[in-house]
Structure 1
C-alpha cells in the first residue's frame, strides 16, 4: 500500500498539467493565439503617404467623371471630355501604384462604419471640375516635396495633365479655369527680387516666390538656357513670317522663352560669360512646317526638359520647374496639341 501511494498521488498531480498541455495543442491547431494583439496596418512613410493621396485623388476624379458623363442632360462634347478624364485619371492611379491593400480590411472592418461610395452620389461636370482642380493643385505641391526624384517627376506630369484637362473642361462648361502658379524663373539667390518671368499674367492669388532649384548641374542649367533661347528664336522667325493671331501668339511665346532663357542664364551664373550657350542664330525647321506644328514640338520638348529636371532637383526646390512644365503643357494645348495623360514623359507615350 505504501509503495503505491506516492505513485498514485503523482499521477493525480500530473493530470491537470496534461490537460492544460492538451488544450494548448488543440488551441494551437485551431489557429487561436491567446494574448495576441489584433493585426494593424503598417505605418506608411512620407513617400507612401504622398503616393496614396495622389492615387486617392485620381480615383475620386475618375469615379466622378464617369458618373457625370452618364448624366442625362450632359451635352455630347462634355460627356466625351468627361470620359477622357475618367480614363486618364484611372491611368494616373495605375502608374502611381494603385490603391494599397494590406488584406486587413476584411479582418478588422466594421460593416456599420461603411460610407457610401462617391459614385453613389450624384456628380456633375462642375463638381468633377472642382475635384480635378483640387487634385491637380495637391499633386503639384506634392511633386515639389516628394522623395525620391522619379516620384516627383511622375507627380509633376500627372499634375500638368490634370491641369490641362481642367482647363479644357472649364472651357466646355463655361466655368472659371483653375488658378495657376506663376510660370516664372526664380531669381538667383544673390540677386535682388525682380522680374525674370513669362510676360503672361499670373491668374493665381498670393504665391510663394520660387526658389532656384538645388541639385542641378551646370550642364543641366546651360542646356535649359539653350532650349529656351532656341525656342524663342524659332518663334521670332515664324512670327515675322506670319500675320494675324498666329503672329501675335508666336511673338508672345517668343518673348516668354527669351525672358526665361535670360532668367536661367542668371541662375546658372553664365550670363555674359564664355560659358553662356546662347547663340546669335539657330537652325529653324523649313518654312513648309506649319507654325502650330513647330510650336507644339518646341513646347513638348521643353516639357520633357522640365520633367527631367524635376527628377534631379532636390525636394522643396522644384516649384518653378513644375510650374514651367505645366505652362509648357498648356501652351502646347493652345497650339492645338491633343491632351495626353503624361506630358513630358516620352516613355509613357
Structure 2
C-alpha cells in the first residue's frame, strides 16, 4: 500500500511544482514589464544653441538695467536710455527660439534668417534684474557682451553666426554712444586685417595631386583681378543668381566695395572742410578693403570679378553727398553679414571685423545701422518677449 500510494502521489507533486514554477515565471515577467525604462540623457546643446541662449540671457539683463536707468532719468538721458531699451528689445526678440515664431528677411543672399540654426524649445521666462543700474556699469556690460557675441560668431553655425555678429556689433556701438554720454573711454575695437596667406599657395593646396603650380602672375593678370600662375584651374566668377555660396558672397563684397570706392571719389569733388577730410580717409580705407576682399577671393580659388568702368549715382547723391555716402556704407552691412554666414575660419573673422567697421562708418556719416547690422529684419514678424516672472505671478494671484 505504501509503495502503491507513493507511486500515485509523484505525478501530483510534479504537477504542483510545475504550476508553482509557471506562476513564478509569470510574476517575474509581469514585474520586469512594469519596471519603466530609464529615460535617455538629454542631448547636449550645440555650441550655436549655447551661444544663442547666453546672448539672450545677457541681452535681457541689460534691457532691464536700461529700463531702470530710463525710468530714473529725464530729457536727453532718458531718450538715450529708451533707445537702448528699444535696441535690446529687438535683439532679444530676434534671439528667441524659432519655435516661438521668430522670422526674418536675410540680406541680399536670401539665405536662412537669423535664428535658422537654433534648436527648438520653449522660450525662457524673463526675471527682472535686482539692484540699481548705473551708466558706467551698463557701458561695461554692453562692451563685454558685444565682444563675447563677436567671438561666438566666429564658431557658430552660419545663420546664427550672422545674428550673433549683428547683435555684438550693435551692442558695441551702443556702448560707445553711452560712453560718450558718461564721459568714459569707448570700447576698443580691432580693425580688420588682410589675409596673410598667399593665393597661389592656397590654390596649390586645393589642387588635386599631380597638378603643378607656377609662379605668381604678371602685373596684367593682377590688374585684371584674376588669380594667375596656378596650375589648378580657379573657379569661375560667381553667378549672381547663385546667392547662397561663399564664392557668391565674396563676389558681392568685391563688387560692393569697388562701387563704394567710386562713390567716395565722386563725393570728394562735392565735399569740403571736415567732411572732405573724413571722406578722403574713408576712401583710402575702402581701397584697402577692395584689396583685402580680392585677396580672400583668390585664397578660395575664385575668380575676382572684373571692375566696372563706372556706376550710376542718383541725383540725390550728387546733391547730398554726405547722405549718399551714409547710404553706401549702410549698403555694405548685409553684404558683410552674408559673408559671415557663408564663410568660416580666417575669412569669417575678417568678415566679422569688417561688419563692425562698416557699422562704425555708417554712424560717422550720421546714419543708424539698426539693432542688427548686417540683417534686413522685419520686426513685425518677431515674437513678443515673455512677460516678467514677477508680473505673471502677481496677475495670477490677483
Same fold (TM over 0.5): yes
Query: How far 1:276 moved relative to its partner?
Result: 6.7
Q: TM-score by structure 2 length?
A: 0.63
Higher relative contact order (CA 8 A, sep 6+): 2
Corresponding residue of 1:343: 373
Corresponding residue of 1:112: none
Structure 2 SS opposite 1:58: helix
Correspondence for 1:79 among 78, 81, 85: 81
Determine whether 1:136 maps to 2:146.
yes
Determine whether 1:242 maps to 2:271.
yes
Corresponding residue of 1:55: 53
Correspondence for 2:92 among 76, 90, 93: 90
CA distance in structure 2 between the aligned counterparts of 1:332 and 1:60, rounded to whole angstroms? 26
Query: How far 1:269 moved relative to its partner?
Result: 5.4
Query: How far 1:14 moved relative to its partner?
Result: 5.2
Determine whether 1:291 maps to 2:324.
no
Equivalences for 1:148-159 in 2 at 5 Å? 149-159=158-168
Question: Contact conserved, 1:136 with 1:159, CA < 8 A, in 2?
Answer: yes
Distance 1:277 1:176, change over 3 A: same
Query: How far 1:340 moved relative to its partner?
Result: 1.7
CA deviations 1:15-37 (Å, max 9, x no partner) are 96278359739x93xxx53xx54
Q: Which has the larger radius of gyration?
A: 2
Distance 1:99 1:57, change over 3 A: farther
Query: How far 1:275 moved relative to its partner?
Result: 6.5
Corresponding residue of 1:225: 254
CA distance in structure 1 between the aligned counterparts of 2:152 and 2:319, rounded to whole angstroms? 38
CA distance in structure 1 between the aligned counterparts of 2:83 and 2:376, rounded to whole angstroms? 23
Determine whether 1:256 maps to 2:285.
yes
Question: Contact conserved, 1:68 with 1:123, CA < 8 A, in 2?
Answer: yes
Determine whether 1:6 maps to 2:13.
yes
CA distance in structure 2 between the aligned counterparts of 1:61 and 1:145, rounded to whole angstroms? 20
Determine whether 1:311 maps to 2:341.
yes
Between 4-13 and 171-180, report the one with greater CA deviation.
4-13
CA distance in structure 1 between the aligned counterparts of 2:15 and 2:122, rounded to whole angstroms? 55
RMSD: 3.8
Corresponding residue of 2:42: 41
Corresponding residue of 2:385: none
Query: How far 1:310 moved relative to its partner?
Result: 2.0
CA distance in structure 1 between the aligned counterparts of 2:289 and 2:255, rounded to whole angstroms? 10
Query: How far 1:89 moved relative to its partner?
Result: 2.7
Corresponding residue of 1:174: 183
CA distance in structure 1 between the aligned counterparts of 2:19 and 2:308, rounded to whole angstroms? 102
Listed as ranges, the gaps of 5+ residues in structure 1 are 106-116, 192-214
Question: Contact conserved, 2:249 with 2:335, CA < 8 A, in 1?
Answer: no
Distance 1:223 1:88, change over 3 A: closer
CA distance in structure 2 between the aligned counterparts of 1:314 and 1:333, rounded to whole angstroms? 27
Structure 2 SS opposite 1:336: coil
Q: TM-score by structure 1 length?
A: 0.71
Q: How many residues align?
A: 301
